[in-house]
Amino acid sequence: MKPAPADTGVRFRRSDLGGLEVAATVQHVGGINYATGLTRDAVRVDTVEHLLAALVSLGIDNVIVELNSPEVPIMDGSAAPFIYLIQEAGVKQLSSPRRYMKILRPIALSRGDKRIALYPSDHFKVTYSIAYDHPLLRHQSRTLRITEESFVEEIAPARTYTFLKEVEMLRQQGLALGGSLENAVVIGDTGVLNHALRFDDEFVRHKILDVIGDMALVGHPVIGHLVAHRGGHALHTAFAAQVLEETDAWTLVEGTAAPSTGDAADAVSAPDAVRAS
């Protein structure tokens, strides 16, 4: 991740393709296959959602993300490693104001029993519910007001999950051959196969992480209440595109960056321990 001036947005740069870039905007969404991918001409970058969620939640609007491969490293399947790196590096507050997308009236999208909607609210809040026909994971639901602090504590550590049946299916198709037990919680018929859960409801928390990352593709942090039921990357990104099209449903408002940052124009929001470096 490299610093970028105001109005750059989040841009992925492929150093292995001579520095070709693709912007993290909904116009470039292409290829949803268990993760969100971006494409522009010959450039492709996969699995952007966890990093985008970390960036938008830590108040980072402008950054160049340089990669030497077509995929953002999955790490442990959560956003926690990205949070650690960003906090260690520090964040520079630019002098231009942050522009938020404030929701003025409800916007909704359903596909079968999958639903997602945005409602006016004074804060960015997410309600997510999931339901599966599986003995270990029937129904989970959570509502959380998303701030930098709540994201870091409650959402970022929640890991990707998958069902053993799906892993076996993917393996038969020659996919997911690389260490899926290290970077996802795998749910078997009788229990979680690897790792202890980080939260009792880690699964729905991860869905909140995913939808924050996918919604970041609208290009602005959102002020509104996002409500989703049984969504996935395809539904989230289709909704992000719809939100951008319904221009009468929102307005851009200017605000200061995350409240934890200092008031000087060049203030650095990093833990005190690393601020001196």
DSSP element (H, E) containing 40:
strand 36-40
Q: Using the rule CB under 5 A, is 47 a contact of Zn ion?
A: no
Name the residue with the smallest CB distance to Zn ion: 210
C-beta of 160: minimal distance to Zn ion in Å?
A: 5
Residues 198-217, interacting with Zn ion (CB under 5 A): 210
Local structure of residue 23 (DSSP, 8 states)? E
Q: What span, in angstroms and rounded, lies between the C-alpha atoms of 145 and 43?
A: 35
Judged by CB under 5 A, the number of residues near Zn ion is: 2
| Nearest distance from C-beta of residue 207 to Zn ion, angstroms | 8
Tell me which residue of 121, 102, 93 sits closest to 225, measured CA to CA. Answer: 121
180 makes contact with Zn ion (CB under 5 A): no
Q: Name the one residue in this structure whose structure tokens are 């550590």.
A: 157
Q: Are 224 and 102 in contact (CB under 8 A)?
A: yes
Between 61 and 202, CB nearer to Zn ion: 202
State yes or no: residue 46 binds Zn ion (CB under 5 A).
no
Least Å distance, CB 245 to Zn ion, is 25
> Using the rule CB under 5 A, is 160 a contact of Zn ion?
yes
By beta-carbon proximity to Zn ion, the closer residue of 46 and 102 is 46
Distances (CA, A) of 90 to 46, 95, 151, 257, 261: 25, 16, 17, 14, 10
Q: Is 233 a catalytic residue?
A: yes
**Could you tell me if 193 and 184 are in contact, meaning their C-beta atoms sit under 8 angstroms apart?**
no
Residue 231 or residue 249: which is nearer to Zn ion going by CB?
A: 231
Active site residues: 233
Residues binding Zn ion (CB under 5 A): 160, 210
